[in-house]
Amino acid sequence: MSLLKALLAELRGMFAADLCLSLAVLLLIGALALALERGLPPPWAGGLLVAGVLAILVASVLRAARRIRRDG
């Protein structure tokens, strides 16, 4: 039972730590869905999705690296 509690606590911590990352990706997907409805060509949307997700990931990694460096 304690293993299950530890696993659930770890999963909850993982999602709480990456909440900003998850919200940014969801906002990007929502914005691109609206852009597609307004006539953005699908290949452009796909390219913007890849570029946007990569930018969000890089920003998240840099933020985490700064936090680790600051906390020592």
How would you classify residue 41: left for phi > 0, otherwise alpha for psi between -120 and 50, otherwise beta?
beta
pTM: 0.73
pLDDT at position 57 is: 92
Tens-level pLDDT at each residue, the chain (72 residues): 688 888 888 777 776 667 888 889 999 999 999 999 999 999 999 999 999 999 999 998 898 888 888 886
Beta-carbon contacts of residue 61 (< 8 Å; ≥ 6 apart): none
